Amino acid sequence: MGGSAEAQSTSIVSSLDLPAFQPADREASVYEAIREDIISGRIPANARLIVADLAERHGTSTNPVREALQQLRGEGFVVMAANRGARVRPIDQDFIRDIYEIEVLIEPALTRWFVGIATEADIAALEALHTEMLRLNYSDPVRHGLLDTQFHHTMYERHYNRHAVDLWWKHREILRAISRRLPISLGRQATVMRDHQDVLDAIKAQDADAAAAVIARHVEGSGRHIIEQMRAARRIGG
């Protein structure tokens, strides 16, 4: 039994190399490069985004840049106005609040549905991911982020409402990109792992309401922590 669990854990960890977690093509890399420039502040808030300049900077044609700007507009990073072109939206507390308030509605609904269809294999996968995160104990933040994403992806990926799943994924990528540049407190680290254990317990008990409540608390806590760290960084910078 122990050997089977170990094999299961190894399989889950190796599955993190799935294409869903990797840039798919040149267009995706241009999008990610521009998004990273916005998040990092290399392209400042309210700066005008000129397609030809961005294409030259990234060594590509203008079409991938236009597609990237449209995607960033859909995600809220870029605003477009008539006769003014595309500009960078400030990455501020309101931006983060808007995202996590939407996720507090979406993720509990996805979780509640998952509890009704979860199999023993699903639970084993979640437990393997949780165990690996506990073992790492945040010693490898990038690895932890991938495991954490896979944990939630396992619960949401089969939901029938693909629009809701796609919106979760888009918001997840935005918050992950932003939080990667911010520290995570020891208290938040402990809370994340406790939340994962609590949702696992609720899933195994087939208690959909309890699982949804844990995820709502988890998402709101994550959003509030990002905002707190943004405020702290601003105080230090100011």
Q: Which residues contact 169 (CB under 8 A, 6 or more apart)?
A: none
User: pLDDT at position 19, please?
Assistant: 36
The pLDDT mean for the chain works out to 86
In this predicted structure, the answer to whether residue 21 has a pLDDT above a threshold of 60 is no
| Strand ranges across the sheet with 85-88 | 48-49, 85-88, 78-81
Q: Which residues contact 220 (CB under 8 A, 6 or more apart)?
A: 100, 104
Measured distance between the N- and C-terminal CA atoms of the chain, rounded to whole angstroms:
56
User: pLDDT at position 28, please?
Assistant: 58
What value does the mean pLDDT take over residues 29-48?
87
Query: Are 110 and 214 spatial neighbours (Cβ–Cβ below 8 Å)?
Result: no
Query: Are 37 and 49 spatial neighbours (Cβ–Cβ below 8 Å)?
Result: no
User: pLDDT at position 56, please?
Assistant: 93
User: C-alpha angle with apex 97: 94 to 99, nearest 5 degrees?
Assistant: 115
Say how far apart CA 148 and CA 140 lie, in whole Å. Answer: 12
What value does the mean pLDDT take over residues 145-158?
94
How buried is 162 (Cβ within 10 angstroms: 0-12 exposed, 13-18 middle, 19+ buried)?
A: exposed
In this predicted structure, the answer to whether residue 238 has a pLDDT above a threshold of 60 is no
Say how far apart CA 167 and CA 161 lie, in whole Å. Answer: 10
